[in-house]
């Protein structure tokens, strides 16, 4: 992005805008003052603050540089000329070859002062360049229109093609399918001929894994509870605005017209030089309603609306990959439409990156909810998220075990994110998968002590759907990364491998197994039946009791302590109701298990904007 | 960077010191425990725990409930593996010594980094009551470790004004867990509730109380549930636990105050710290809680009149060392601890619980009587017999412990014991009965065996208070 001129000629673009009547003295002074504070280009500041329209600025710029301005949507673009440059070159340098005129290649570009780009084009094409100015939105539009299929391929197939071993396009490897059928056959054989032995073995394995999973979470919680505020985060405000780099924010939205005003407001509240923000709201092609709602709000110039072409799988990671292709920031993050990040989050993320090892690819902020007291579900969800993001993830970080990223507020170094292949569009928890993949490729993920507040799903059906997707995604992630267990050990080490088993594998496993254990226990308690005795020899019985009582109560206790740090004292008693909440988890886990076989890539979109907070706001409006 | 390097180096040095302290303290206490065994001292609780662990893992059938479900289960469970491996005679001293070494580490960590740390910690390590607690193989060592850890973290929580979540988390868990070691933990919990409710925010109080009491309540409930499951009585452990009667309390209260006075003489350091802590009301209840544990358990529990409980006073005086105002106070504390250790040796014969007295006197070489001498003799004799032995181990558990193979016996934990109690010769080749003045189920149900008037039984040996009979008509 290169709107405006460098410092020396800044006043000139200002003068032109003044002369044209597009800006007044007061606005120009404000922009100049901001430029002194933030650094960067005047034009960008003017656009980002909405002081001048993007189109007007570029037209002024064209007059200043005495170059033609091209509105690419009205321009005749020669397909042969387009083929002269590679798609990646055009994306990275924001240039479009339009046509050959008088033996010269007419090239529309956002920054005509980049001499290197001009020379590089001449070298590649062997033609002298005739420069013209256009906006970055026009560039994106041309690329999205003329290279739709290539971009779609890159968006969807890049990971599957270049790093097939990490893609969930094919979930199970052949040997995994063979192993699954072999184990199932052996188990069924035993069940038929030696049922007691079959139950005994299965029961013992289940109990041991359940126990280890719970103990691992206890260790993580203890470690997580030990984490303190980092100095580097506290020092975020010492970074001068002029030193801050461009930051891309991707916001995939779908059928969320109701939330759009909230979204725009939340992003505006971010404490970051607006001229350095590259906010891309990603709309699905068939979601006209949301796009119209967003356009009606006429947000400032740092918001860009990008339409993601329709294709399958229709998932959030696919939309994010589309946005990633046009990202201009050195860093990039994702927010959901209903998110409300703490204003200093981006600065804290940069400070953390600067103080982290060079192989740090991502810092994950904490997530929590603003509609916590709405009903039972939102209360329990808040307990769960407080535990997950405030204790479990910092615990994983301290232990050096791969961190499954949360759905939003994960901040990446853009280049490194591209290196590791972006998001997997076939994985329905692309975030969790990305954390593990990053670890496998030798990168580190850190946590960030800054919170993004979201809307907790307050309706049961939506909750079940959302949780089904999450658990299915964990199952997908587990299957994908376990295609070659030995390689996984080599790549992440034994400790992380065990952590992966207990955490990524253990989470859905515990949800699947928990109701079976409770049912067996309740049947025994009510009937005192002796039928179960053969499958519960003494040590298994003690172990089961330990798991059921100590294990479950331990998790209740960990949920209690979870909200202490956030001072959400009113939620503590609700932790006692966790067992009822787990029933819902188990329903979702079994649903996920079925869906993994029947509809593995189906993305259960969680509707937002249904919280009472939004309803109340709408009424006020 | 330089500063970070310095910090890293200092942390490495601290780790090395801690490892050295841990191993040297562990070997010291373990050596003391082994030395005491060699000189003939065995702690009653050590033997009791060891025997029940043997029954649980090597009994017939081997079952968890063989531990008796009267006393808290964790000290038994720790002995399961050694009992299974046949190492039960060493388990007590080993586990106590590990607890001791860890306790000393906790105390060392809580001291400020001053030149007099060694001067403060050494007299604690060699204090005779600490040696007894951490070498005699009972559960008091583990209990002391947990309560010291609890005090350490809970103090941190109070001092952080509720901000140190980890300290709160871990202290609540530790206190809950200590219920599985000794029931007296309840006396620690109750006074501290007053500390927690002094808060204007109602929801904060609710939250604190829930977090603080949940592990304790849950584990206690779990224990009553297990009692109900196996014994049909959720409060079996209370009904069988030795609570002292009010009458006895009145009779014994003189010795309580005597014990208390003795403890203060042994740990004058407590008074030194109290002087400073008294000026910090938010910490005072925590500081006084160990006293509450010691006094109430001595008042209510007949088998716990032990000054080893007062070791906790020594522990907390060190944990609160950082609250002492000046270096002079620290020197005073060190002098008080040294004096306490010296007094401990000179007053060892004044302690109210015989076992402590015997232990210390055994170590300093003035005690002549070997403990469980007759039980060992009987056990050795029984090892030479072929065939099942009908035996009531309710009070004579030491015999099974020293014998080492519970499968040779028919004991009260087995269904067969109750079934054949009136005619043991149907199942056992031998029966062992003590003199009728001792309580024994076999005597109560077969009053003619001991006087040798039962035609089914023939006397084969007399050892101490016991007679060993062989069945005349038993066929294996």
Condensed to tens digits (0 to 9), the pLDDT of residues B413-456 reads 999 999 999 999 999 999 999 999 888 899 999 999 999 999 99
Segments making up each domain of chain A, as ranges: 7-65, 79-146, 147-621
Q: Is the pLDDT of residue B353 over 70?
A: no
Q: Residues of chain A with pLDDT > 70: what percent?
A: 93
Most confident among A115-119, A163-167, A500-504 (mean pLDDT): A500-504
- Give mean pLDDT, residues B121-126: 91
Q: Between B168, B211, B222, which is nearest A549 by CB?
A: B222
In terms of domains, do B128 and B212 share one? yes
Give me the half-sphere count of Cα atoms (radius 13 Å) on the Cβ side of residue A609: 18
User: Are B358 and B383 part of one and the same domain?
Assistant: no
A542 contacts in B (CB within 8 Å)?
Answer: 64
Check residue B5 and give its pLDDT.
67
Please, are residues A479 and A530 in contact by the beta-carbon 8 Å criterion?
Answer: no
Stronger pLDDT, A40 or B258, i.e. the higher one = A40
In the listed set B339, B364, B389, which residue is the last one of a domain according to the structure?
Answer: B364
Contacts of A75 (CB under 8 A, 6+ apart): A98, A108
Contact by Cβ (8 Å): A77, A29: no
Q: Do B207 and A564 touch (CB under 8 A)?
A: yes
Considering the domain architecture, whether residues B55 and B148 belong to the same structural domain is answered as yes
pLDDT grade, residue A285 (50/70/90)?
confident
In a domain, B262, yes or no: no
CATH 3.40.50.1100 fits A147-621, yes or no: no
Question: A229 pLDDT band (50/70/90 cuts)?
Answer: low
Rounded Cα gap, residues A522 and A517, in angstroms: 9
Closest residue in A to B166 (Cα) is A225
Mean per-residue pLDDT, A200-227: 84
Contact A553 B222 (CB under 8 A): yes
State mean pLDDT over A484-501: 91
Name the domain count of chain B.
Answer: 2
In this structure, of A298-302, A330-334, B36-40, B453-457, the range with the lowest mean pLDDT score is A298-302
Q: How confident is the model over A438-454, as a mean pLDDT?
A: 92
Judge whether B253 lies within some domain: no
Q: Quick one: average pLDDT of A530-538?
A: 69
> Which residue range is the domain that position B224 belongs to?
2-245+353-364
Q: List, in order, residues 6 or more apart from B232 with CB less than 8 Å away.
A: none
Is residue B277 in some structural domain? Answer: no
Instruction: Write the CA distances from A16 to A23, A65, A113, B373, integer angstroms.
Output: 9, 11, 18, 109
User: What's the pLDDT at B343?
Assistant: 84
- Closest CA–CA distance from residue B67 to any residue of chain A (Å): 14
Is B456 a domain residue?
A: yes
Tell me what pLDDT residue B258 has: 67
CB pairs under 8 A between A and B: 62
Residues 198-217 of B with CB under 8 A from A: 201, 203-204, 206-207, 210-211, 214-215
ipTM of the complex: 0.80
d(CA A96, CA A84): 10
Phi, psi of B470 (to 5 degrees): -110, 145
- B98 and B140 co-located in one domain: yes
Do B358 and B416 fall within a single domain? Answer: no
Across the interface, which of A221, A549, A561 has its CB nearest the CB of B211? A561
Tens digit of each residue's pLDDT (9 = 90 or more) over A398-444? 988 989 888 899 999 999 998 888 888 888 888 888 999 999 999 99
pLDDT, averaged across chain A: 85
B456 with B357, same domain? no
Least confident span in A591-595, A602-606, B70-74: A602-606
The residue-averaged pLDDT of A537-557 equals 78
Q: Provide the pLDDT for residue B411.
A: 95
Interface of B with A in 135-164 (CB under 8 A): none
pLDDT band at A341 (very low <50, low <70, confident <90, very high): very high
In this complex, is the C-beta atom of B194 within 8 Å of any C-beta atom belonging to chain A? Answer: no
**Is the N-terminal amide bond of A313 cis, ω within 30° of 0?**
yes
Interchain contact, A549 vs B225, CB within 8 Å: yes
A42 band by pLDDT with thresholds 50, 70 and 90: confident
Q: Are A365 and A451 in contact (CB under 8 A)?
A: yes
Structural domain contains residue B211: yes
* Cα distance between residue A185 and residue A204, in whole Å: 19
Does B173 reach chain A within 8 Å, measured CB to CB?
A: yes
**Beta carbons of A400 and A480 less than 8 angstroms apart:** no
Q: Can you tell me the mean pLDDT for B49-63?
A: 91
- Contact predicate A423/A320, CB 8 Å: yes
Q: How many CB atoms lie within 10 A of CB B455?
A: 8
Do B360 and B416 belong to one domain? no
Q: Does B81 contact A at CB distance below 8 Å?
A: no
B144 shares its domain with B226? yes
User: Which residues numbered 210-269 in B keep a CB inside 8 Å of some CB on A?
Assistant: 210-211, 214-215, 218, 222, 225-226
Contact A571, A563 (CB under 8 A): yes
Which tens digits make up the pLDDT trace of B360-401? 778 777 766 778 899 999 999 999 999 999 999 988 999 999
In SS3 terms, A16-55 reads as: HHHHCCCCCHHHHHHHHHHHHHHCCCHHHHHHHCCCCCHH
Q: What is the pTM of this model?
A: 0.81
Q: What's the fold here for domain A79-146?
A: GMP Synthetase; Chain A, domain 3 (3.30.300)
Of A538, A561, A569, the CB nearest to B169: A561
Beta strand B389-390 pairing with B409-410 = parallel
CB B460 within 8 A of CB B468: yes
Phi, psi (degrees; rounded to nearest 5) at A137: -70, -35
Q: With contacts defined as CB-CB under 8 Å, which chain A residues touch B172?
A: 557, 561
Q: Looking at B364, B387, B422, which one is the last position of a domain?
A: B364
- Cβ distance A225 to B206 less than 8 Å, yes or no, reads no
Whether the CA torsion A490, A491, A497, A501 is positive or negative: it is negative
- Cα distance between residue B476 and residue B473, in whole Å: 10
Q: Is residue B281 part of a domain?
A: no
Structure tokens at A274: 């607006």
Q: Per residue in A600-612, pLDDT tens?
A: 777 777 777 667 7
| B464 shares a domain with B359 | no
Cα separation, B220 vs B238, in Å, equals 12
**Among B64, B203, B214, beta carbon nearest to A557:** B214
Q: Is B64's Cβ below 8 Å from some Cβ in A?
A: yes
Range A325-329 average pLDDT: 88
Task: Give yes or no for a contact between A133 and A70, defined as CB atoms under 8 angstroms apart.
Answer: yes
In order of A226, A311, B296, B373, B475, the CA distances from A230 in angstroms are 12, 43, 45, 62, 77
Are residues B150 and B170 located together in one domain of the fold?
yes
Chain A residues interacting with chain B (CB cutoff of 8 angstroms): 221-222, 225-226, 538, 542, 545, 549-550, 553, 556-557, 560-561, 563-565, 567, 569-570, 572-573, 575-576
- The C-alpha of A527 sits at a distance from chain B's nearest C-alpha, in angstroms, of 13
Tell me, what's the pLDDT at B56? 92
Task: Tell which of B300, B331, B364 closes a domain.
Answer: B364
Which of B153, B162, B171, B214 best probes binding to A when mutated, by most A CB atoms within 10 angstroms?
A: B214
């Amino acid at each position: 992005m290169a709107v405006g001129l460098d410092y020396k000629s800044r006043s000139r673009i200002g003068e032109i805008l003044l002369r044209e009547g597009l800006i007044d003295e007061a606005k120009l002074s404000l922009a100049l003052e901001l430029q002194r504070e933030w650094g960067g280009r005047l034009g960008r500041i003017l656009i980002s603050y909405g002081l001048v329209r993007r189109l007007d600025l570029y037209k002024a710029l064209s007059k200043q540089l005495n170059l033609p301005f091209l509105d690419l949507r009205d321009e005749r673009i020669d397909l042969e000329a387009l083929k002269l440059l590679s798609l990646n070159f055009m994306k990275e340098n924001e240039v479009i070859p339009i046509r050959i005129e008088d033996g010269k290649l007419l090239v529309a570009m956002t920054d005509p002062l980049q001499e290197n780009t001009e020379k590089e084009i001449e070298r590649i094409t062997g033609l002298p360049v005739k420069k013209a100015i256009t906006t970055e939105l026009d560039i994106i539009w041309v690329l999205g229109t003329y290279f739709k299929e290539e971009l779609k391929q890159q968006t969807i197939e890049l990971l599957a093609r270049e790093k097939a071993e990490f893609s969930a396009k094919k979930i199970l490897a052949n040997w995994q399918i063979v192993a699954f059928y072999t184990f199932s056959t052996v188990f069924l054989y035993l069940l038929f001929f030696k049922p007691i032995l079959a139950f005994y073995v299965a029961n013992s394995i289940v109990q041991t894994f359940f126990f280890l999973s719970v103990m691992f979470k206890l260790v993580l919680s203890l470690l997580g509870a030990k984490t303190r505020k980092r100095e580097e985060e506290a020092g975020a405000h010492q970074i001068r605005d002029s030193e801050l780099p461009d930051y891309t924010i991707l916001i995939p939205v779908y059928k969320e017209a109701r939330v759009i005003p909230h979204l725009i407001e939340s992003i505006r509240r971010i404490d970051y030089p607006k001229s350095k923000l590259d906010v891309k709201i990603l709309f699905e092609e068939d979601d006209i309603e949301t796009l119209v709602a967003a356009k009606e709000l006429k947000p400032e110039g740092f918001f860009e609306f990008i339409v993601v072409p329709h294709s399958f799988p229709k998932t959030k990671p696919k939309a994010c990959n589309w946005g990633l292709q046009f990202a201009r920031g050195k860093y990039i993050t994702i927010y959901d439409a209903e998110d409300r990040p703490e204003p200093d989050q981006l600065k804290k993320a940069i400070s953390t990156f600067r103080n982290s090892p060079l192989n740090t690819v991502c810092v994950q902020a904490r997530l929590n909810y603003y509609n916590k007291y709405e009903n039972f579900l939102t209360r329990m969800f808040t307990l769960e998220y407080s535990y997950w993001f405030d204790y479990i993830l910092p615990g994983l970080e301290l232990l050096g075990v791969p961190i499954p990223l949360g759905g939003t507020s994960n901040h990446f170094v853009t280049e490194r994110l591209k290196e590791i292949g972006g998001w997997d569009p076939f994985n329905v928890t692309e975030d969790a998968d990305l954390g593990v993949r990053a670890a496998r490729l030798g990168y580190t993920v850190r946590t960030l002590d800054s919170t993004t507040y979201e809307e907790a799903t307050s309706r049961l059906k939506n909750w079940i759907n959302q949780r089904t997707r999450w658990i299915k995604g964990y199952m997908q992630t587990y299957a994908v990364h376990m295609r070659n267990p030995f390689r996984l050990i080599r790549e992440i080490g034994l400790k992380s491998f065990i952590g992966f088993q207990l955490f990524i594998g253990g989470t859905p496993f515990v949800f699947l197994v928990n109701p079976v254990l409770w049912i067996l226990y309740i049947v025994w308690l009510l009937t005192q039946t002796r039928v179960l005795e053969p499958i519960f020899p003494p040590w298994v019985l003690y172990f089961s009791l330990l798991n059921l009582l100590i294990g479950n109560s331990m998790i209740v206790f960990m949920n209690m302590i979870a909200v202490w740090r956030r001072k959400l004292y009113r939620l503590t008693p609700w932790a006692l109701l966790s067992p009822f909440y787990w029933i819902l988890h188990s329903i979702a886990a079994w649903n996920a298990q079925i869906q993994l076989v029947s509809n593995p890539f189906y993305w259960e979109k969680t509707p937002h904007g249904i919280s009472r907070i939004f309803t109340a706001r709408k009424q006020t409006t | 960077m330089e500063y970070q390097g310095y910090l890293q180096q200092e942390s490495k040095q601290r780790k090395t010191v801690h490892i050295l302290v841990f191993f040297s303290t562990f070997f010291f206490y373990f050596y003391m425990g082994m030395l005491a065994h060699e000189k003939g001292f065995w702690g009653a609780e050590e033997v009791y725990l060891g025997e029940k662990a043997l029954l649980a893992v090597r009994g017939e059938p081997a079952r968890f409930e063989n531990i008796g479900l009267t006393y808290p289960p964790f000290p038994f469970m720790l002995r399961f593996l050694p009992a299974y491996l046949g190492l039960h005679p060493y388990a007590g001293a080993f586990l106590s010594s590990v607890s001791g070494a860890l306790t000393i580490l906790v105390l060392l960590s809580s001291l400020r980094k001053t030149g007099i740390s060694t001067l403060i910690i050494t007299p604690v390590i060699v204090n005779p009551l600490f040696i007894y607690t951490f070498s005699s193989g009972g559960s008091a060592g583990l209990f002391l470790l947990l309560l010291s850890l609890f005090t350490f973290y809970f103090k941190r929580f109070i001092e952080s004004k509720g901000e140190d979540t980890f300290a709160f988390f871990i202290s609540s868990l530790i206190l809950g867990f200590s219920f599985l070691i000794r029931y007296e933990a309840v006396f620690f919990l109750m006074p501290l509730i007053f500390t927690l409710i002094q808060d204007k925010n109602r929801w904060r109080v609710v939250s604190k109380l829930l977090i603080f009491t949940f592990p304790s309540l849950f584990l206690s409930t779990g224990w009553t549930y297990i009692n109900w499951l196996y014994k049909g009585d959720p409060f079996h452990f209370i009904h069988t636990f030795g609570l002292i009667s009010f009458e006895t309390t009145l009779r014994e209260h003189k010795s309580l105050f005597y014990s208390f006075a003795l403890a203060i003489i042994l740990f004058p350091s407590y008074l030194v710290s109290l002087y400073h802590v008294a000026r910090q009301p938010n910490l005072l209840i925590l500081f006084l809680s160990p006293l509450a544990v010691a006094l109430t358990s001595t008042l209510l529990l007949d088998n716990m009149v032990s000054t080893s409980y007062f070791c906790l006073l020594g522990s907390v005086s060190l944990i609160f060392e950082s609250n002492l105002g000046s270096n002079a106070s620290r020197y005073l504390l060190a002098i008080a601890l040294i004096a306490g250790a010296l007094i401990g040796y000179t007053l060892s014969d004044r302690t109210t619980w015989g076992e402590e007295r015997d232990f210390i006197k055994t170590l300093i070489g003035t005690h002549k009587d070997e403990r469980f001498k007759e039980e060992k003799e009987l056990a050795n004799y029984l090892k030479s017999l072929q065939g099942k032995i009908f035996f009531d181990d309710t009070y004579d558990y030491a015999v099974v412990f020293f014998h080492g193979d519970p499968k040779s016996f028919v004991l009260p934990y087995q269904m067969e014991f109750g079934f054949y109690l009136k005619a043991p010769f149907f199942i056992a080749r031998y029966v062992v009965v003590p003199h009728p003045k001792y309580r024994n189920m076999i005597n109560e149900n077969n009053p003619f065996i001991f006087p040798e008037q039962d035609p089914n039984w023939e006397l084969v040996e007399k050892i101490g208070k016991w007679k060993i009979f062989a069945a005349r008509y038993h066929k294996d």
